[in-house]
Structure 1
Amino acid sequence: MLYFQLVIMAGTVMLAYYFEYTDTFSVHVQGFFCYDTTYTKPYLGPEDSSAVPPVLLYAVVAGLPTLLITITETVLFLVQYTSKEFDRSEKTVATGDCCYLNPLVRRTFRFLGVYTFGLFTVDIFVNAGQVVTGNLAPYFLTVCKPNYTALGCQQALRYISHQEACTGNQDDILRARKTFPSKEAALSVYAALYLAMYVTCTVQAKGTRLAKPVLSLGLMCLAFLTGLNRVAEYRNHWSDVIAGFIIGTAIATFLVVCVVHNFKGKLLLSEESPAEQRPNTAMLNMGRVESPLEKYIASQNHIAFAEVT
C-alpha cells in the first residue's frame, strides 16, 4: 500500500505540472462584447507586484503548515515520552516490509503527506476550471487592446469571439483568460482550514480554550483577506474568489474527515502488537481437552451429588 500511495502522489504531481507549466491543455477562448465595462478595469501590473505575490503565498502555504505540524507533533511526542506510558509501549512501528519508523515520524509524515496531496489536488481543480471556462479577468480589455474600428464595434452590443481580436501582449492576455476559480483564494483557504482543524483536533492541553479559536480564526482571516485583495486589485471577480473558497474548503474538509479521520491516532503503540495478540486469542478459542484425571474427578463429584439428593 505504501508503494501504491507513492505512485498516486507522483501522478498527482505530474498532472499539476502539466496544467501549470505546459500548454498540453489549451485554454478556452471566451468572447466579449465591445466596450464591456465589466472587463475594462485598470491593469496594476504582473502578479509579482501584487500585495500578496505568488512567492509569498506559496512560501506561507508550504512552510507554515510544515513548521506548525512538525513542532506540534514533536511537543506531543515528548510529553508522552516523559510519561510512564512510553515505558510500556513499542518504540518503533513497521512501515511496509523493509523499514521501521518512530511513531512521531510516521504521524508527521502522514499528516504532511495528506496536506501536500491536497495542495496539488487544489491546484489541479483550479487549473482545470480555468482551462475549461476561460473566464475573463476584470482588466481583460485593458491588456487585450482590441482595435474596435477594425472589429466593427460601432455598437456596444457586438459580440467578438475570435482570438485574433486582441493586439496586446500574449502572455498577459493568456493570464487574463485564467481567473475562474481564483487559485490564490483556493490555496489560502485550504491551508488555513487544514491547519485550523489540525490545531483544534490535536491540541488538548489546558489553557488553550481561547488560544485555539484565536489561532484558527486568525488563519481563516488571512485567507479571507487574500481573497479580498484579489478583488480589490481587479485581478479576480467576486465569483472567482467565492468559487476558490468553496474548492479549498471542500478538499480540506474531505481530507481531514475521510482520510486522516480528524487527526486521530496514537503517538505511541500499545503494549502488544497485533501480531502478538492474535496467537493468544486463537489459543483461547481452541477447544479444551480433558485429561483422564479430570474425567475421574468429575464422575466422583457426580456420584456424590446423586447420594446427597
Structure 2
Amino acid sequence: MSGLRPGSVCDTTPLQRFESQSSNGEEPSSPTAASLVAAAASSTASTMPHINNNNNNNVKVDLQLPTFVGGPGNGVGSAASIVTKTRHQRGTSQIFRRIFLDLCLLSCVGLPMLGFSLWWEPYKRGFFCDDTSLKHPYKESTIRSWMLYLMCAALPVIMILVVEFFRAQDKRIRESYIGSKHKANHSAYHLCHLELPNWLLECYRKIGIFVFGLGVEQLTTDIAKYTIGRLRPHFFAVCQPVLPDHTTCDDLVNVGQYIENYTCMATDMTAKRFKDMQLSFPSGHTSFACYSMIFLVIYLQRRMHWSGTKMLRHLLQFLLLMFAWYTALTRVSDYKHHWSDVLAGAGIGLTYAIVVTSTMW
C-alpha cells in the first residue's frame, strides 16, 4: 500500500476497459446505459478519497460520452427532421387538393341555388281584388343588382386582402424591431417550390368562409321565396290580371273573392318577370346586404388593430351599416317588397353573419 501513489486507481474501470479495447484494435462491446452509469460511478468513487484528503487540489473529472449521444438519432435531430419534412409535405398537390375540397363544399350550396333559378317554379299564390298592398306602382330599383354585387361581393374581398396584407407588414416590422426570429409571416405551404406567405393563406381562409356563408344565406332566402310565393307590392301594375271569364278586378263581381286562376295581360310580361313577381318574401337584396356588411363590420372589429386607426375603423363600420340600412329602406320605398319581407331578410343576413364570424377565429 505504501508503493501506491496518491490518486492512483488499483483496478481499471469499465470505461477504461472500453477505451483500452478500442486502442488495441479489438472490437469493443456495445456500450449500454448500465455500463455508462457504472463507469461514471466507479470513476467518482475512486477519486472521492483523493478529493477528501487533498482539499486544496483542483480535481477535474472528465467523462467523455460516446459520439452517438446527441447525434442524428436523438430527439432533437429527429424532431427537426420531422418539422422540415412536414413543412415540405404541404406542396402543390396538397394545395390543389384543399382547393378542390373547398369547391366541392361550395357546390353543395351553389348547385341548389342554380336549380332554383333555372328550373324551380314558386308556389302560385292567389290574391284579393281589393288588396291595396298589391296596388302600388312599379318603380326601378334604387340599388341596382350590379351595385349590390359590387358593394356586397367585391368590396369584402378587397377589404380582406388589404387588411390581411397590412397586418402582416405591421407584424413583420414589430418583430424586426424587437429582434424576434419567429417567422410569423411564413407558412408551410409551397406552390411550385415557392413558399406562400401566411397573410395570403389568411385571406384564402377568410374569403372562403365569407363566400360559403353568403351561399348558405342566399340558399336560405331562395327556399323561403319559392316555398311561400308572396306577390310583390306592384303586382297589379305589372301583371294586370284577367280571370278565365274575361273579367277583371274592376268588375264588382270579383270584389271579395280569392282569385287563384288568372292570366297576366301586360304586354311586356315575360316568364322571368312573372316568376320574379312571386318572390317577394323575404327580401334577397336586404339579406345579401345585411350579411355582407355585418360580416365586414365584425371582421374589421377583430382584425383591424393598428394603432391610430380606431376612428377610421369606426367610420368604415358606420358606412357599411348605413349601406345595409339604406338598401333595406329602398326595397320598401321602391315597392319591391313589403316591410315584413325586408325585416325577414335582415334577420336572415344578421343571423348568418354572426354565426359565420363566431366560428372563424
CA distance in 1, matches of 2:189, 2:255: 66
Percent of matched pairs sharing the same residue: 25
Residue 123 (structure 2) aligns with: 28
Residue 307 (structure 1) aligns with: none
Find 2:300's aligned residue among 195, 199, 210. Answer: 199
Residue 279 (structure 1) aligns with: none
Residue 221 (structure 1) aligns with: 322
Is 2:279 the counterpart of 1:183?
no
> Which is richer in helix?
1
Is 2:185 the counterpart of 1:87?
no
Task: Please give the residue correspondences for 1:48-87 in structure 2 after superposition, counting only pairs within 5 Å.
Answer: 49-84=140-175, 87=181
Give SS of 2:181's match: helix
CA contact (8 A) 1:36 1:156 kept: no
Is 2:260 the counterpart of 1:161?
yes
In structure 2, relative to structure 1, the CA distance for the partners of 1:78 and 1:133 (3 Å cut) is same
Residue 213 (structure 2) aligns with: 118
CA distance in 2, matches of 1:71, 1:144: 47
CA distance in 2, matches of 1:71, 1:246: 29
For residue 82 of structure 1, what is the amino acid of its counterpart?
Answer: I
| Displacement of 1:161 | 1.2
| Displacement of 1:90 | 5.7
Residue 105 (structure 2) aligns with: 8
| Displacement of 1:205 | 2.2
CA contact (8 A) 2:168 2:185 kept: no
Q: Which moved more, 1:245-254 or 1:73-82?
A: 73-82
| Displacement of 1:144 | 1.6
- Two-structure CA RMSD over aligned residues (Å): 2.3
| Displacement of 1:97 | 11
| Displacement of 1:179 | 1.2
| Displacement of 1:135 | 0.5
Residue 131 (structure 1) aligns with: 226
**Considering only CA atoms, is the larger Rg found in Structure 1 or Structure 2?**
2
Find 2:343's aligned residue among 225, 232, 242. Answer: 242
| Displacement of 1:91 | 5.2
CA contact (8 A) 1:34 1:153 kept: no
CA distance in 2, matches of 1:107, 1:123: 24
For residues 209-240 of structure 1, the C-alpha deviation after alignment (integer angstroms, 9 at most, x for no partner) is 33322221221111110011111011111011
Is 2:242 the counterpart of 1:141?
no
Q: Which moved more, 1:93-102 or 1:131-140?
A: 93-102
Residue 291 (structure 1) aligns with: none
Residue 203 (structure 2) aligns with: 108
For residues 31-59 of structure 1, the C-alpha deviation after alignment (integer angstroms, 9 at most, x for no partner) is 00123211011112xxxx42211011111
| Displacement of 1:18 | 2.0
Consecutive unaligned residues in structure 1, runs of 5 or more: 262-309
For residue 181 of structure 2, what is the amino acid of its counterpart?
Answer: D
Give SS of 1:154's match: helix
CA contact (8 A) 1:140 1:173 kept: no
Give SS of 1:82's match: helix
For residues 125-166 of structure 1, the C-alpha deviation after alignment (integer angstroms, 9 at most, x for no partner) is 11111100000100111112122673575142101012x443
| Displacement of 1:242 | 0.6
CA contact (8 A) 2:121 2:275 kept: no
In structure 2, relative to structure 1, the CA distance for the partners of 1:95 and 1:133 (3 Å cut) is farther
For residue 157 of structure 2, what is the amino acid of its counterpart?
Answer: T
| Displacement of 1:95 | 4.9
